[in-house]
Amino acid sequence: MDFNSSDPAAGQALAEQPVAGQALAAEPVAGPRSEDALPDSATAAVKVVIVGGFGVGKTTLVGAVSEIRPLTTEETMTQAGVGVDDTLGIERKTSTTVAMDFGRISLNEELVLYLFGTPGQQRFWFLWNGLFDGALGAVVLVDTRRLEVSFDVIGRLEERGVPFVVAINSFPEAPKHDVEELREALDLPPEVPIVDCDARLRTSSRDVLMTLMHYLHHLAVTSEAS
């Protein structure tokens, strides 16, 4: 589920009583739990984007490997959303928000990896600009029952030159596909890795990220050699 972690900080609020007249600061801000604070030695961060349709398990995968409970950041569709609001069925044109869930893995004392889950549908592509700039790569999380979304996403990533791997989240009721059949269905080049995963499992989700990193490593070595 993509929107089940809307209030991860609930219950941890270090409540200060709102002061009358400070209307805009009426809600006390709960920060990270002390065990979730990054060490001061953390100096650099990298990001990987998990992209897929609604309900495909992006947040589940992020949550499985994240050292913090997934957090949610929202972006407002303003001018960028004009003409898009109608399809969302939202009445107020200026206040549409889109949520992105994300998690974090401290790789060592200095380096931090952030994982962002973002919806794959075309109407959310306006989110992609800031998101993919500087991203190491992407995981396209696929539900074999709904391949169309993945098809658009893959085309868009190829256009942007973002390296990606494809992970098939194994839903119990989803039809089993042969990997090579899927490669053909998704029109994927032979070098792009496809892996099966169970996004609920830490090891399985970790292995998906590992597949992406080995692929990126391969690309880096290949480009050095050429």
Partner 1 sequence: MSGAGQDWEDESPERLYVITGGRSGAAAQTFSLDLVTLIVAKAAPRPGIQPEHAAIMRLCHSPLSVAELSAYLKLPVSVVTVLLGDLLADGRVVARAPVPPAELPDRSLIEAVIHGLQQL
Q: Residues interacting with partner 1, by CB under 8 A?
A: 8-9, 18, 20-27, 29-32, 37-40, 42-47, 65, 71-76, 78, 94-95, 97, 102, 104-108, 111-114, 116, 130-131, 133-137, 163, 202, 206, 209-210, 213-214, 216-217, 219-221, 223-224
Judged by CB, which is closer to partner 1: 178, or 191?
191
Give the integer Cα–Cα distance in Å for 141 and 169: 7
The CB-of-143 to partner 1 minimum distance in angstroms stands at: 24
Judged by CB, which is closer to partner 1: 176, or 223?
223
Tokens of 39: 């060490």
The CB-of-73 to partner 1 minimum distance in angstroms stands at: 4
The CB-of-159 to partner 1 minimum distance in angstroms stands at: 15
The CB-of-177 to partner 1 minimum distance in angstroms stands at: 27
Q: Which residue, 155, 47, 151, 56, is CA-closest to 102?
A: 47
Judged by CB, which is closer to partner 1: 130, or 145?
130
Phi, psi values for residue 75, rounded to 5°:
-120, 145
Give the integer Cα–Cα distance in Å for 181 and 187: 10
The CB-of-41 to partner 1 minimum distance in angstroms stands at: 9
Judged by CB, which is closer to partner 1: 58, or 150?
58
Give the integer Cα–Cα distance in Å for 190 and 176: 20
Tokens of 3: 């929107």
Tokens of 216: 């990126």
Report the alpha-carbon angle 125-45-63, nearest 5. Answer: 65
Judged by CB, which is closer to partner 1: 21, or 172?
21
Task: With beta carbons less than 8 A apart as the criterion, state whether 131 and 118 touch.
Answer: yes
Place of tokens 């889109």: 98
Amino acid at 103: G
The CB-of-221 to partner 1 minimum distance in angstroms stands at: 6
Judged by CB, which is closer to partner 1: 88, or 148?
88
